[in-house]
Amino acid sequence: MAVMGIIAAGLTCFPSTAGQLRSRSLRRRAHVRLAAVLILTAAALPLTASAPAMAADLPSPIATNLDGFTPILYTPPGHTRPQVWQIAHHGYVPTTAPKVYCTDLATGQPCSLADGTPTAWPKPLNTWESPLGDPPTGNISTTREPLFVHLGSLLFYPALTTSSLPGFPHGSVGVGCVDLARQANCTYFPLQRLTNIPGTANVNGLTGLVLNNAKLYGVSTTGQVLCLDTTTLGPCTGQPYSTGIPADNAAAGTGPYDYSGTMTAVNGKIYVSSTNPLVLNCFDPSTNTACAGWTTPKPIGNSHSSLADAVYTDYDNTGTAVGTCASVGNADTSTNAVVNCFDFNGNPVSPPGTLGAIYPTGHAAGITMNPTTVTVGGDLRSYFPFWTLDVGYAGQTLCFDWNTQTTCGGFPNPDSHPTVNAGRTLDYGYDYDGTCLFGLGDAGWLFTIDPNTGNTPC
């Protein structure tokens, strides 16, 4: 996603468990500053990640030893080359553990502090405003498949904390924030209480985030839609919303844990997958109800399917959005990952071209995550992370060209990364700088891929 270079300063936040209270006047002033940043940058964001090229490369892969998810490229003011940020995933990881890492592409080394002082990474995340790593233990986690919303210098992530906050005595899920320019925690916004009530669906975690019309959306394990209004910096009126999305990992005593599904925003609607059961849902932010034609969730996958970890826009051969698709990994060796597509009215449609056949076969328990969709060589392409839990496929990139409706010309399918950790990358996600794809995965390595040839390094 393009970086707008707008810096938010003087942010305040909720008090810490140590009782670090902030004045209401300071909070109001900080919220006004943050709201201005969000509104200005949201209005300027592109719909796809076709960013201008930046002079960035990574001649050798870097072992970060952090189970990071999707890399986030950010160029600080005064820098000519970007940094690559990553945040560790999973809600059940101890909140005290270090979770954020920064690599400086100008040096190929861990980032220095904003003032140039060398520092150690990874660092913890916290719910109150403070420099990253101060204090040296954290109190916040994310989720299984975090989606990051990057606005200027601010990075928003789905957040889970067991710490007590006003109105949330036993912990909460909500929206966390890192100011990348200042290398600091900024305001955490709790949106729903953690619960532990036998016999009912419980809030144990969440998935998200996606941005739509200046609002951030997620879904908790109860199946309720969470919403933060970035114009008021408070919960959206009436949230959380109940729209028929099934509960997922919502048993009493399970949390903190993960929602095992993901989200995307397409043409003003929000599409949400779940694994138990395997269905796709649509939420309409204009009515805060299920989308027209989506009052009944749409089955995805089949009897061989496992995890519903990829939901993305379906495009025709002109690059026009025509619906939504979901890819569900296979649980055994008998089938490809299953692809189901739907038009905007909720009608099932055939996957375009050869999209349904891009996934390799022959190994069990496929993992496929949300693709990175960018324009390369004039064509709209989606790059899908893929691997299998039996590690027969230990980290591959799959590429689909929407304009030709087939695999990407010149790009191997599947494309492995043999020069990185002997090919064991276990890909989770990519970011794009206009020249190279940057990848991260479960193995804890940061690496690059040439989007035209599939070569690593780029």
Task: pLDDT band for 377, please (50, 70, 90 cuts).
Answer: very high
Nearest to 99 by CA among 380, 351, 444, 431: 444
pLDDT for the residue numbered 57: 63
- Lowest mean pLDDT segment, chosen from 75-79, 205-209, 320-324, 338-342: 75-79
pLDDT for the residue numbered 45: 34
Over 70: is that where the pLDDT of 124 sits? yes
Q: Is residue 421 left, alpha or beta, with left meaning phi > 0 and alpha meaning psi from -120 to 50?
A: left
| Neighbour count for residue 397 (Cβ, 10 Å) | 27
pLDDT for the residue numbered 54: 35
Residues 6+ apart with CB under 8 A from 96: 124, 137, 138, 139
Q: How far lies 146's CA from each of 53, 310, 320, 370, 411, in Å?
A: 26, 12, 26, 10, 27
- Reported as half-sphere exposure (CB side, CA atoms, 13 A), residue 130 has a value of 21
Q: How far lies 298's CA from each of 51, 197, 321, 367, in Å?
A: 34, 29, 19, 21
Encoding tokens for residue 47? 């719909």
d(CA 92, CA 294): 32
Complete DSSP assignment for 298-326? EE-S-TTB----EEEEEE-TTS-EEEEEE
b/e per residue 166-179 (b: at least 16 CB within 10 A): eebeebbbbbbbbb
- Reported as half-sphere exposure (CB side, CA atoms, 13 A), residue 37 has a value of 24
Over 80: is that where the pLDDT of 244 sits? yes
- Reported as half-sphere exposure (CB side, CA atoms, 13 A), residue 341 has a value of 18
Instruction: Report percent pLDDT > 70 for the chain.
Output: 87
Complete DSSP assignment for 205-216? -EEEEEEETTEE
pLDDT tens-digit readout, 306-358? 789 999 999 999 999 999 999 998 877 777 789 999 999 999 999 999 999 99
The torsion of the CA quartet 10, 168, 290, 202, rounded to 10 degrees, works out to: 140
d(CA 213, CA 243): 19
Instruction: Report percent pLDDT > 90 for the chain.
Output: 74
d(CA 394, CA 424): 5
- pLDDT (mean) for 64-86: 92
Helix, strand, coil in percent for the chain, rounding step 5:
5, 35, 60
Encoding tokens for residue 185? 């925690």
pLDDT for the residue numbered 38: 46
Q: How far lies 28's CA from each of 14, 37, 41, in Å?
A: 12, 14, 20
Task: pLDDT band for 439, please (50, 70, 90 cuts).
Answer: very high
Mean pLDDT score across all residues of the chain: 87
E strand map for 27-111: 62-63, 72-74, 83-87, 100-104, 109-110
329 in Cβ contact with 337 (< 8 Å): yes
Encoding tokens for residue 191? 């949106």
d(CA 269, CA 271): 7
Q: How far lies 403's CA from each of 44, 381, 453, in Å?
A: 25, 8, 18
Assign 3-class secondary structure to 142-195: CCCCECCEEECCEEEEEEEECCCECCECCCEEEEEEEECCCCEECCCEEEEECC
Give the residue with greater pLDDT, 15 vs 71: 71
Complete DSSP assignment for 254-305? --S------EEEETTEEEEEETTTTEEEEEETTTTEEPTT-SSPEE-S-TTB
363 in Cβ contact with 371 (< 8 Å): no
Encoding tokens for residue 119? 């520092």
pLDDT tens-digit readout, 146-176? 999 998 899 999 999 999 999 999 999 999 9
pLDDT tens-digit readout, 271-293? 999 988 999 999 999 999 999 99
Q: Which domains does the chain have, with CATH numbers?
A: 24-449 (2.130.10.10)
- pLDDT (mean) for 259-268: 96
Nearest to 449 by CA among 440, 424, 421: 440
- pLDDT (mean) for 428-446: 95
